[in-house]
Structure 1
C-alpha cells in the first residue's frame, strides 16, 4: 500500500509554478505523461514513489516530495538509480546516466519482476515519443543526391535537406580508419570477405542536437591516399563532393531500411532516452557503369527523423 501525505499535491503545484513549468514541460523532463501529472497534481490519482523521486530531481526539491510518499513492503519498486555511490549526491548526473539507457538492460533483465508503474512509465514515454506531434527532419531519399543547387552551394545532402527545412545542420567526423569490411558491406561493394576499406565515422546534428550517425565504407581502390582516407575535415560538400573530385558521381543508389533498438554506444552518441528505437538505413552509391564506390550505414533517431521516398510509377 502506498501512503501519500496530503501536502504532496500542494508542494508539487507550488514547486512547478515556482519553476515556471507547464505540465508539458514537466512531462518532457520527468518522462511521465502530461495527463498523468495533471491528474496527480489535481488529486485524482496518487503518485508512485518513482514519480516522487523523478519530480524531486526535476523540481530541485531535494527529497521533499519523496519523503511525502511511503510504500509498503509489497509496493516497493525496483527503483532506477537517481543517486549512486559512483555519482555521489549529484542528481543531475544520475538522471543523465538514466537517460542514456545505461542502467535499463540490467533493470529489465534482472530476476526481480519490473513493477507495473515502471512499465506504465515506459508506455507513457513511448506515447510521447511516437504519438505526440513533433516535426521530424525528413531524409529525402533519392532526391538528396540529385539536387544541382546543393552542388552549386557546396552543401552535403544532409546540410541541403536540413537547411531547406529551416534547420541548422552540423556534421562531425569523429574518426577515419582502415577496417575490414563487414560482410553485408562487402557484398554491397562487391568486395571479398576480409578486404580492407576506409571507414569514416560521422555524427549529424540539427539545431545542436544529434539525430543521426553514419559509418561510411570506401574501397581503398577508390580513395587511395586522398583526403577521404586521411583527413577528418573534407571541406565544402563533404564526402560526396570529395568522391566527385575523384571521378565518382552518384548515378544510382540502393537503400535498405530496418529498425532495432540502439547499442549502448549509439544511445550515448545520439543522447537517446530509454525505449526509443533507431532506424537503420544501409545505403550504397553506384556510378553510371554500375560500379559501387561507397556504402554507408546510417543510424537515425526514430523520434527525430523520418525517411521519405517519392518514386514515379509507370503507367
Structure 2
C-alpha cells in the first residue's frame, strides 16, 4: 500500500479512513473539494473498491465528507454558524425591529424565514407541566412547531409551549404571529418580559424525522437546547426546544457566575 497508513492492526478500511482524514486535516483536500474516485483510491491503496467504500462510509459517519449522488464524495465545507446567544431577548435589540432569529440572520447577510408545522392546544406531559407550573390533566398549553430557515438551509426545528391562560385570545394562535418581535413581543404585552433564562444543552444524533425536516447529511449531529423563559417574578411562562443543526449553529453565553 504505497504512501498509506503505517498502522497494520486496524482493518484496511479504517486505516484508509484515518489516512484520508489526516490528509484532509493537513489541507491536502480542501473543504468542498471532491475526493478521488473509488477506483482511483482503490488503486492508490492497493485494495478492492468495497474496502474504499467502507472507508468513505466511516468518514461520512464522522461528518468529514458528504456523498452527492452522481457527482462523488466531497470534503464537508465549514459554514458560518448562526449563534444562539444568552442575550437574544435583550431589549437593546428592539431598535432593529427584528425578532431574535431574523436579527442573527441579518448579521450574516442571510434571509430568515420559518415554516409552520402546527399550532394547537395540547395536554402537556408531566415534566413539561412541572416546568410551566400548569396542570397535566387537560389541554393546558399551546404548542407551536416550526422549522426555521436561513436562506435555503433549514437550521432549527423549534417546538414552543406556552400556558393556555396566556395564549388564549392572542396572536399566538395564528400561524404567523402578528408582532414584529414574534412570540416574545406578544408575551411582553401580556406583562411577561424575559428577565432570566434557563437553557439545558445536549448533543445527540438526530431522529429520522429531524433528518427529514432539517435535510441533514450523514454524520451531522444536532444540538438539543431546552429553553425556559422566566419573568420578573421568576415565574416560567414559555418553554422551547430548539433542535439545531450542529454544522450550522453554535451557542454563545455570557453570564455572571453565581
Output one character per residue of 1:265-292: Cα deviation in whole Å (capped at 9) or x when no partner: 1110000112322111000111101111
User: How many residues are paired up?
Assistant: 219
TM-score, normalised via structure 1 length: 0.61
Is the 8 Å Cα contact of residues 172 and 186 (structure 2) preserved in structure 1?
Answer: yes
Output one character per residue of 1:134-191: Cα deviation in whole Å (capped at 9) or x when no partner: 1342324221111422x23331111112212332211222210111113332221122
Alignment of 1:1-315 (within 5 A): 25=32, 27=34, 34=35, 37=37, 40=40, 43-45=43-45, 117=52, 119-125=54-60, 126-128=62-64, 134-149=78-93, 151-196=94-139, 197-229=141-173, 231-235=174-178, 236-313=180-257
Distance in 1 separating the partners of 2:63 and 2:211: 19
Distance in 1 separating the partners of 2:176 and 2:46: 54
Is the 8 Å Cα contact of residues 179 and 199 (structure 1) preserved in structure 2?
Answer: yes
Between Structure 1 and Structure 2, the one with more helix by share is 1
Between Structure 1 and Structure 2, the one with more strand by share is 2
* Higher alpha-carbon Rg: 1
Q: Which has the higher mean CA deviation after the structures are superposed, 39-48 or 281-290?
A: 39-48
Distance in 1 separating the partners of 2:42 and 2:152: 36
Cα gap change, 1:183 to 1:118, in 2 (>3 Å): farther
Cα gap change, 1:269 to 1:25, in 2 (>3 Å): same
Following superposition, the deviation at residue 255 of structure 1 comes to 0.5
Please give the secondary structure, in 2, of the residue aligned with 1:234: coil
- Give 4+ residue runs of structure 1 displaced > 3 Å after superposition: 22-27, 36-39, 45-49, 116-119, 129-133
Runs of 5+ in structure 1 lacking a partner? 1-21, 28-33, 50-74, 76-115
TM-score, normalised via structure 2 length: 0.74
Cα gap change, 1:148 to 1:120, in 2 (>3 Å): same
Runs of 5+ in structure 2 lacking a partner? 1-28, 67-74
Distance in 2 separating the partners of 1:129 and 1:193: 45
Is the 8 Å Cα contact of residues 140 and 308 (structure 1) preserved in structure 2?
Answer: yes
